[in-house]
Amino acid sequence: MDYIHTWELQKKLVAKKAKDRLTPDYLLFVEHPHVFTTGRKGNLENLLSRGKIPVYQVERGGDVTYHGPGQLVYYPIMDIMRREITVRDFVRALEEVTIVALGKLGIQAKRIDGYTGVWVGEKKIASIGVAVDHWVTFHGVALNVNTQLDYFFRIKPCGLRPDVMTSIEVIKGAKQEMQPVKKEVSAAFESVFRTKLIMKHTEIAEA
């Protein structure tokens, strides 16, 4: 899905939830065409060579990153005030979701002190950047599944060396099916946030 379309959808859902706190929370799964984004305080000097790839500055925290085919991006639109959790705790929970899901896929992942995101050894496999409006979250997690990692060499991802990035495909040594990854992320999300996910394509489309 085009990045701009997804971005606008997120903002519509945030506004809907801010207006009516009883509106359900959402978890959007998407893959984007090639795009670079930077957080609200991102350093554009970390964008080395964009070529014809679009660049968008958005509301999330964090620095420059890349989205593209083969990368699973999940955007939770959640009322953290109702859930009585802080933004920091929410980010840590998203890390935990990803760590648990990767564990089910046979990959031992972890946090590294001082850095947001999820790591396998000394390599970063998932980036996290969120925004909060009226205590409703948007933006989220980018998990490298079959991501073309060479695109990270056009930036300093989150201000880091581009060769720090890895993917499930690289770790496993073979291209991965996306559906099992979505399944494990969904299950981990339900477990960590103690909730139940229900597929509602029509409601999302009409938001």
As annotated, the active-site residues are 158
Contacts for 13 with CB less than 8 Å, ≥ 6 apart: 26, 77, 138, 204, 207
Rounded to whole angstroms, how far apart are CA atoms 32 and 121?
A: 27
Cβ neighbors of 110 (< 8 A, separation 6 or more) are 99, 118, 119, 120
- Strands (E) in 9-160, as ranges, are 26-30, 35-38, 55-57, 65-67, 71-77, 110-112, 115-120, 123-133, 136-144
Rounded Cα–Cα distance for residues 110 and 157 (Å): 18
Which of these, 194, 193, 196, 185, lies nearest to 100 by C-alpha position?
A: 185
